[in-house]
Structure 1
């Protein structure tokens, strides 16, 4: 199991995504074989949401790592994390490229009975927290590397 987590500066709000298995163990093409089973948790004072679904894939994680590295290094002001499925999306914006303040805006969709509930959220975090999220992405990429052929 590999986990990535992004927490607010005060630790009150956090989003965690854990990859714990390949979704399609027997898949032999790169697109189907790349999918992960994921546990997702969002915790805020007014919300406590968890769900388990197929959401991330190895190709997306590999693509996101250099983008987050550029963000942490201060080379880019904004980065988006948008898995293929619409369950979670994040937009991180640095207020000042040389500063530590990062604004996070996100969108989360999850099943609530027979319906889908959508939640928009925002919080402030730091570059250090984003570095920890990046480290989690690296751990996911290491534990769930791209596999399969292009055919």
Structure 2
């Protein structure tokens, strides 16, 4: 599994990376991004096939909000929010949130959040890992070019 950490406090980012690695050494941290601008640039230049499976994201970053970042790059990846603020939980769950962890991050809560993510992936695998024909079929009802059925008499 590949993850990205979006965190403007370098010590918090390093600690989170260490906790993730201690929990599961097979998890690879692809990048640690310290600002909205850096994250927008990174996500904008990543090919869809090399996007991370999961994002750990602080809400208050040095140059803006995580929600602004999500909106700017239309980020549709699963997110575990890691923040010192408990006031954004509802907004976070509207933004692809898997979990909402308050700092300082508790190892058991982090493990539970990662397990929850893994469980959701087993029960509903991501489209990006499926066959393109299957993705087309899954998205067919939302495709405006699909043929409409006739109205009943």
TM-score between the two structures when normalised by the length of structure 2? 0.27
Q: Which has the larger radius of gyration?
A: 2
Q: Where is the strand percentage greater, Structure 1 or Structure 2?
A: 1
